[in-house]
Amino acid sequence: MLTAILAFFQAIPAIFGGINNFVSKYYDAKVQITTARIGGDVTVAKALVSGIVAEGQTRVEFLKTVSQSKFLMCLVGGFALPWILYEWKAVVWDNLVCPWLYGSPGFTPPMTGLVADWSGVILAGIFGTGSVMAVGQMFFNRRER
């Protein structure tokens, strides 16, 4: 048992070396893909990929902050719950339960007007990702040149 523990501790540097190698290769691959998308400017591609990584870290910190506060969890859940219930009714009830119970699918009218606009804004703010921002930045950076 002691020999196995010592062997594990000796293998830790190799494990971290493999992880660092994987992360480095992954970063290089992302830079190459981004370089191909924006037309060959490597420095801009590195800046975009680094910005996406930084945004992801900021997002994780935001989620940590929300998860540590009961008030913020209730606030986020309060904004997301109506949309979650609407989606549940439209997908689960109308498409799965109604055909099984009644023999025909149900009908949920689509959201329209300001409710639809605000629900999109709220959900994008809560659950949005940095990749949309990165694509927008790539588009606008390309137009400026």
- Which has more confidence, 57 or 128? 57
Q: What is the pLDDT of residue 77?
A: 79
pLDDT 10s digits, 18-64? 776 777 777 777 777 777 777 777 777 777 777 777 777 777 777 77
How many domains would you assign to the chain?
1
Q: 130-144 vs 42-67: helix axis angle to the nearest 10?
A: 150
Whether 80 and 74 have beta carbons less than 8 Å apart is answered as no
Instruction: Over range 106-133, report the average pLDDT.
Output: 75
Residue 25 belongs to domain spanning = 2-144
Distant-in-sequence, close-in-space partners of 52: CB < 8 Å, separation ≥ 6: 130, 131, 134
- Which has more confidence, 128 or 97? 97
Instruction: Over range 85-110, report the average pLDDT.
Output: 84
Cβ count near 134 (within 10 Å): 16
> Position 98: which residue type?
C
pLDDT 10s digits, 58-81? 777 777 777 788 888 888 778 878
Cβ count near 45 (within 10 Å): 21
Judged against a pLDDT cut of 60, whether residue 130 lies above it is answered with no
Q: What percent of the chain has pLDDT over 70?
A: 74
Pairwise CA distance, residues 145 & 135, whole Å: 16
> Exposed, middle or buried, 116 (CB in 10 Å: 0-12/13-18/19+)?
exposed
Instruction: Over range 109-136, report the average pLDDT.
Output: 72
